[in-house]
Structure 1
Amino acid sequence: MNYGRTPLDDLPSRVTICEVGPRDGLQNEPVVLPVEVKAEFVARLVDAGNTVVETTSFVHPKWVPQLADAETLLSAIEQSEGVRYPVLVPNERGLDRALDLGMRDIAVFGSATESFAQRNLNRSVDESIQMFAPVVGRAREAGLAVRGYLSMCFGDPWEGEVPVAKVVDVASRMMALGCTELSLGDTIGVATPGRVTALLDALSAAAISMEHVAVHFHDTYGQALANTLTALRRGVTTVDASAGGLGGCPYAGSATGNLATEDLLWQLAGLGIETGIDLDKMVATSVWMAERLGRPSPSRTVAALAR
């Protein structure tokens, strides 16, 4: 149902949603879904109008068994023209696998803090940047787009508040490698609008254009939509979200689900911001996925519209 649109000043007319449900969403689920279900999930997301669908990861199955079927899944997906299907690669071996399958978009996953870098990558921040350098370099030489994820941008469960200057330093180093986009992760969902403003302003002052910045908010404390609106007012036009609010992080126990795509779509529609995504189809997709996972979607918009 449409309750009208009331635009606000200083907001973009269109926002690109990076749908992360198939990768970031499913990686934290205790249930390992059949590859046929995952392929249908991706197809449903594309049919709903998503043009960026983060599909899977080439992380070793020992660490993320939910995504051990990456090659099989990518072979089963009929890729649509005009749709990007980025995959996460941890190292050069992962890049080789992505190149062998003809992927055109990859992502690397870094950390702004030493504690999380050690737990997630088993190496320091400096060592992780060194590991990413040949991955990004080779990918760019091959004509691939490279998204750089930067996690723990606002708070870390082991280190507490993360200084803005530290985030800017690591962000600048990742962009200097040749990343085409930088996704700022509030991995444990502790950010509030003031912190978001401070970080984005500091990145702009460091000559990192908001054109190349995305935001990735978890909704642990119910702040994801407020933080997203703040980011849009600072010039960000790409927002990560997950169908039905799926997701978390297997290496940070306090990281609960991602911002639900449907909740984001409801807000953007009310603000008159175009996305090209059909909300009703997204709700139906998340209800369908919730049935396969055996639990209801945490998205309030899904709960409201699926009655």
Structure 2
Amino acid sequence: MVKAEIFEVGPRDGLQNEAGVIGVAEKVALVDCLSRAGFARIEAASFVSPKWVPQMASSGEVMAGITPAPGVGYWALTPNLKGYERARAAGCDGVAVFAAATEGFSRANLNCSVAESLERFAPVMAAAVADGLPVRGYVSVVTDCPFEGEVDPGAVARVAGALRAMGCTEVSLGETLGRGLPERVDAMLAAVLGEVEAGQLAGHFHNTSGRALDNIEVALARGLRIFDAAVGGLGGCPYAPGAAGNVATEAVAERLAALGYDTGLDMDVVAEAAQMARAMRQQ
């Protein structure tokens, strides 16, 4: 059976979009449950300004509260050197930086141009290399942008290539709005694969239009074997209020298994975590 990895992002990319206040104990319990499910990597924290992402203000407490499981890496989002230093102090095993494929999205979300965002990552990359920590690079809006419409695949390829050249060990391609059609995802991947090898790419597909699993199949055909997902479908798309956001981990695992891929996950434990996640959404 061919191996495929699900990179669990629910505790970070999922919970950061939930409106209700979720306590540290609940977050810790979710991460600990996920730790028993067989994930190689869990994105458990985000060291960004609590002014912008209040749900993630307790990330340091969450990292201090979890029970690390052997063989599981705990990752965090770090937009700048200050965030990186907090993640390092919290004991994270890897960090992620985030960029966008369009100027409009970059300015709206990062308050700077794409080029400026990449420049900001340089100190983070240098520190991570010195500390021996891997860095993941996210690229947002890889097919559709709320400000610029359809995204040029070449623009995605340039940003992905830049992140890889800076030292990112992996680049996650974010179909942020969940509107990407399989044929356009395929065109985007064809362009990106000219800059970054398939083994260094991950697919991050939102399910707003119900096409995430179809897009994962397109990515599989292009050689990708790593996919981001959020247990219980945690999170939502800020540009499509009320719509589904992150594709659910359990759905991705089931589709991959049906296609003959081994994720190494204990689906009973994943189901337990999904139930916890759904309860959080109802708060």
TM class, shorter-length: over 0.9
Q: AA paired with 1:212?
A: Q
Q: AA paired with 1:221?
A: S
Q: Distance in 1 between matches of 2:91 and 2:154?
A: 37
Report the 3-state secondary structure (helix = DSSP H, G, I; strand = E; otherwise coil) of the residue aligned with 1:240: strand
Aligned position for 1:149? 138
Q: TM-score, normalised by structure 2?
A: 0.96
Q: Distance in 2 between matches of 1:256 and 1:288?
A: 18
Contact conserved, 1:24 with 1:248, CA < 8 A, in 2?
no
Structure 2: gaps spanning 5 or more residues = none
Aligned counterpart for 1:279 among listed residues 240, 263, 267:
267
Aligned counterpart for 1:113 among listed residues 72, 84, 102:
102
Report the 3-state secondary structure (helix = DSSP H, G, I; strand = E; otherwise coil) of the residue aligned with 1:86: strand
Q: Distance in 1 between matches of 2:85 and 2:276?
A: 34
Q: AA paired with 1:88?
A: L
Q: AA paired with 1:144?
A: L
Aligned position for 1:302? none
- Residue 253 of structure 1: CA displacement? 4.5
Residues 1-307 of structure 1: matches in 2 within 5 Å?
Answer: 13-206=2-195, 208-250=196-238, 252-253=239-240, 256-294=244-282
Q: TM-score, normalised by structure 1?
A: 0.88
- Residue 262 of structure 1: CA displacement? 0.8
Contact conserved, 1:104 with 1:143, CA < 8 A, in 2?
no
- Residue 248 of structure 1: CA displacement? 2.6
- Residue 281 of structure 1: CA displacement? 2.0
Q: Distance in 2 between matches of 1:291 and 1:68?
A: 20
- Residue 101 of structure 1: CA displacement? 2.2
Contact conserved, 1:137 with 1:177, CA < 8 A, in 2?
no
Q: AA paired with 2:249?
A: T
Q: Deviations over 1:48-107 (max 9, x none)?
A: 222211001001000000010111111111211210111000101001111222322000
Q: Distance in 2 between matches of 1:93 and 1:280?
A: 38
Q: AA paired with 1:83?
A: V
Contact conserved, 2:101 with 2:159, CA < 8 A, in 1?
yes
Contact conserved, 1:214 with 1:238, CA < 8 A, in 2?
yes
Q: AA paired with 2:170?
A: E
What is the total number of aligned residue pairs between the two structures? 282
In proportion to residue count, which structure has more strand?
2
Contact conserved, 2:122 with 2:166, CA < 8 A, in 1?
yes
- Residue 279 of structure 1: CA displacement? 1.8
- Residue 249 of structure 1: CA displacement? 4.5
Q: Distance in 2 between matches of 1:239 and 1:112?
A: 19
Q: Distance in 2 between matches of 1:84 and 1:201?
A: 30
Task: Describe the shift of the 1:216–1:148 C-alpha distance in structure 2 as closer, same or farther (beyond 3 A).
Answer: same
Q: Which has the larger radius of gyration?
A: 1
Contact conserved, 2:101 with 2:141, CA < 8 A, in 1?
yes
Report the 3-state secondary structure (helix = DSSP H, G, I; strand = E; otherwise coil) of the residue aligned with 1:54: strand
Aligned position for 1:9? none
- Residue 140 of structure 1: CA displacement? 1.6
Report the 3-state secondary structure (helix = DSSP H, G, I; strand = E; otherwise coil) of the residue aligned with 1:182: strand
Report the 3-state secondary structure (helix = DSSP H, G, I; strand = E; otherwise coil) of the residue aligned with 2:62: helix
Q: Distance in 2 between matches of 1:279 and 1:241?
A: 14
